[in-house]
Amino acid sequence: MRTLPTPAFMLEPALDPHPNRDAGTSRDALGLGAAAATGLDTRHGTILTLEDISVSFDGFKALNSLNLYIGVGELRCIIGPNGAGKTTLMDVITGKTRPTAGRAWFGETLDLTRLSEVQIAQAGIGRKFQKPTVFEALTVFENLELAQKTHKSVWASLRARLSGEQRDQIEHTLQMIRLTASVNRPAGLLSHGQKQFLEIGMLLMQDPQLLLLDEPVAGMTDAETEFTAELFKGLAGQRSLMVVEHDMGFVGSIADQVTVLHQGSVLAEGTLEEVQADERVIEVYLGR
Ligand SMILES: Nc1ncnc2c1ncn2[C@@H]1O[C@H](COP(=O)(O)OP(=O)(O)OP(=O)(O)O)[C@@H](O)[C@H]1O
Ligand SMILES: [Mg+2]
């Protein structure tokens, strides 16, 4: 049984050993040294490297020698039948599940198998689970504000007033997720799709380099799905995205490259057209 996911922004922040330092440079709190403090090292153009990753649950291999490389700024879609290991893959990247074997690197230098969930979130990997986890009693603004505060170090969250920069970030995010008009509404009154957008906004408040999104358009209307595609395409380039989705129309509208997972391994990779023409993919997934 899977435990209930804890949104990254709710995880207890790591204590900053240097409280006088600018609270915004949360990577310093990880003690990752000068390279990390100046940003993620992606000099070879790869933001995520997974090699020979295996995950066993009581002998069952949910991931089996999986190899995956995501480029900086790429929008990668992961597809595959139920139970293929897509969510487990995200669990490994975010430190929720430890691989039983293999290597996982964020940029060139951060070994994901050695970092905690909190450290991974702070290093710049944000994750959105399928079910929206917004605070229903709080307004849209308060939800974004909370995500922003919990991202910063303990010391920053003790500062009661929002700086102008922080307000600007919230306003910019509100526009991106098209919730400016609902800024003072309790999140509980939003539609399912709007809650999803709010949660994406909350993720963005943490300024992640790599965003993992598990079935983001499930349960959305056509219009909301279309907007999500636009939003993701706008985010790609500046950030890298890994999107798990079963909705092929949506995948076709956003993906550069598609990876097909089957029985815990990569079965095929290429453009959606290429993988859709692959006999093995048709047999295990698309041809159903
Ligand atoms: N904590 C766990 N303990 C035991 N088995 C697990 C655990 N998590 C996942 N599994 C098993 O690992 C396999 C891969 O599951 P996973 O949830 O990663 O698949 P998925 O590709 O995300 O599927 P779906 O499309 O249905 O979301 C499944 O057979 C699942 O039952
Ligand atoms: Mg899943």
Residue 156 pLDDT grade (very low, low, confident, very high; cuts 50, 70, 90): low
8 located within any domain: no
Q: Report whether pLDDT(42) > 90.
A: no
235-238: Cβ within 8 A, 24+ apart: 235/75, 235/204, 235/211, 236/73, 236/74, 236/75, 237/73, 238/73
Overall domain count for the chain: 1
Residue 227 pLDDT greater than 50, yes or no: yes
In a domain, 99, yes or no: no
Any domain includes 183? yes
Tell me phi and psi for residue 66, to 5 degrees: -80, 135
Least confident of 81-85, 161-165, 253-257: 161-165
Judging by beta carbons within 10 Å of its beta carbon (0-12, 13-18, 19+), is residue 275 exposed, middle or buried?
Answer: buried
Which has the minimum average pLDDT: 62-71, 148-157, 261-270? Answer: 148-157
pLDDT at 33: 33
User: Quick one: average pLDDT of 198-207?
Assistant: 93
Cα Rg for the chain, rounded, in angstroms?
A: 19
Residue 107 within any structural domain of the chain? no
Ligand 1 pocket, 88 CB below 6 A?
yes
CATH code of the domain in which 212 resides: 3.40.50.300
Residue 178 within a domain: yes
Instruction: Judge if pTM exceeds 0.85.
Output: no
Ligand 1 lined by 83 (C-beta under 6 Å): yes
- Residue pair 206/176 in contact (Cβ under 8 Å)? The answer is no
Residue 42 lies in a domain: no
Q: Which of 56, 64, 79, 87 to mutate to test the pocket of ligand 1 (most atoms within 8 A of CB)?
A: 87
In a domain, 112, yes or no: no
148 — pLDDT class (breaks 50, 70, 90): confident
Q: Which residues of 27-60 are buried (b: 16+ CB within 10 A; e: fewer)?
A: bbbbebeeebeeebebeeebbbbbeebbbeeeee
In this structure, of 36-50, 76-90, 179-193, the range with the lowest mean pLDDT score is 36-50
Catalogue the long-range contacts made by 269-276 (C-beta closer than 8 Å, 24 or more residues apart). Answer: 272/77, 272/248, 275/79, 276/248
* pLDDT at 2 > cutoff 60: no
Q: Is the CB of residue 65 less than 8 Å from the CB of residue 86?
A: no
- The residue range of the domain holding 242 is 74-94+117-286
How far is the first Cα of the chain from the last one, in angstroms, to the nearest whole number?
27
Q: How far is the CA of 1 from the centre of ligand 1 (A)?
A: 10
**Any domain includes 226:** yes
pLDDT for the residue 27: 35
**CA–CA separation, 238 and 210 (whole Å):** 10
